């Protein structure tokens, strides 16, 4: 996972179906991408453990303008967005569950 750090236009996020959350896993996939299914599974497991996190999967081929604007060059690509819609991390390929949880931990409110 690499650091990114750019604020994404709220209108673009709405077009992709992203709603406010403490953190969002924004996944770009294509129909016949086997690794995309693995990212979907890992993301589902993580969001089950961390209810403040949302997972949004986007068909890259149906959103070419947004894909170009965000610099998505391959699938799967997973963006981690903070509550303000800033991209804080980006991964291509399949991240491990521990790496994903660690990347999200800094964005989530501390539980008492």
| 2-105 CATH fold | Glutaredoxin (3.40.30)
CA distance 91 to 76: 8
CA distance 55 to 43: 7
Average pLDDT of the chain?
92
- The residue ranges of every structural domain in the chain are 2-105
CA distance 46 to 65: 29
pLDDT in tens, 50-109: 999 999 999 999 999 999 999 999 999 999 999 999 999 999 999 999 999 999 988 887
Quick check: 44 pLDDT over 90?
yes
pLDDT in tens, 14-31: 999 999 999 999 999 999
Q: Are 94 and 35 in contact (CB under 8 A)?
A: yes
Quick check: 32 pLDDT over 70?
yes
């Amino acid at each position: 996972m690499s650091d990114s750090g750019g604020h994404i236009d709220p209108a673009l996020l709405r077009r992709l179906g992203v709603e406010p959350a403490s953190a969002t896993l924004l996944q770009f996939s294509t129909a016949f991408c086997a690794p995309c299914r693995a990212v979907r599974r890992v993301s589902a497991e993580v969001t089950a453990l961390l209810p403040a996190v949302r997972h949004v999967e986007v068909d890259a081929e149906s959103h070419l303008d947004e894909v170009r604007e965000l610099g998505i060059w391959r699938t799967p690509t997973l963006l981690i967005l903070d509550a303000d819609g800033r991209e804080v991390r980006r991964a291509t390929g399949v991240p491990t569950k521990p790496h994903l949880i660690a990347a999200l931990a800094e964005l989530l409110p501390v539980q008492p």
